Amino acid sequence: MLPRDEFFLAALQATDLDGGGNTREKEMLLTTLRFYFGPAQGWGAVHNVSDAASLAQLDLTLRQPGERYEVLEQQTSLSSGYFSQNHSAAGQVALYVARKDNNGLSPSYFIYEASRNLTLYVGPDLLHNLPGHLVANALVLDGQYCPVESFTLRF
């Protein structure tokens, strides 16, 4: 389940985000997440796009070499193999950020929020072959880091 509003991010500053990217990028990501979980969700602009077949395919993709889980483990303080273990609940909000360049397109940002076991994507809509469109997507994960729900905001 997604957080109902952005207030769980209230105490975070850009310098609190673990991982890649410069301070300006981290500020942009934190602002994007606050907008995503706050006004955009409140206005009904964040859509539940959960589909069992798509979620199963996403689970396979997230675990591929060079994809989200590996990139997060390489660019943040998350340990190697973190996403192959069972999730243990974290007490406080922690955002881990990784960046992936896209050959002349806007970069992709992978974010993991440990306390709510969410992974987020902010970047070009490569999944739907619409690289000129930006999206923010949140995946709600189960205890084995498999996506169980998917929510998308298109910019």
135 — pLDDT class (breaks 50, 70, 90): very high
Which H or E element spans position 60? Answer: helix 52-62
Inform me whether the pLDDT recorded for 20 exceeds 80: no
**Residue with tokens 């979980």, as numbered in its chain:** 37
Look at residue 132 in the predicted model and tell me its pLDDT: 81
Q: Cα–Cα distance between 137 and 150 in angstroms, integer?
A: 7
**Cβ-contact 135, 121 below 8 angstroms:** yes
Q: What is the residue whose two structure tokens read 């070009």?
A: 124
Q: Is the pLDDT of residue 65 over 90?
A: yes
- Per-residue pLDDT tens over the stretch 89-123: 767 788 999 999 988 889 999 999 999 999 999 99
Q: Would you state the pLDDT for residue 131? A: 74
Residue owning tokens 């410069």: 22
The secondary structure element, H or E, covering residue 33 is: helix 23-35
Looking at the predicted structure, is the pLDDT value of residue 85 above 80? yes
pLDDT score recorded for residue 128: 78
pLDDT value of position 80: 95
pLDDT of amino acid 129: 79
What would you report as the CA-atom Rg of the chain, rounded to the nearest whole angstrom? Answer: 14
Distance CA(69)–CA(105), nearest Å, equals 21
For residue 125, pLDDT over 80 is answered with yes
Mean pLDDT of the chain: 93
pTM: 0.94
Q: What is the pLDDT of residues 1-16, one digit of tens each?
A: 899 999 999 999 999 9
Q: What average pLDDT does range 69-86 have in this prediction?
A: 95
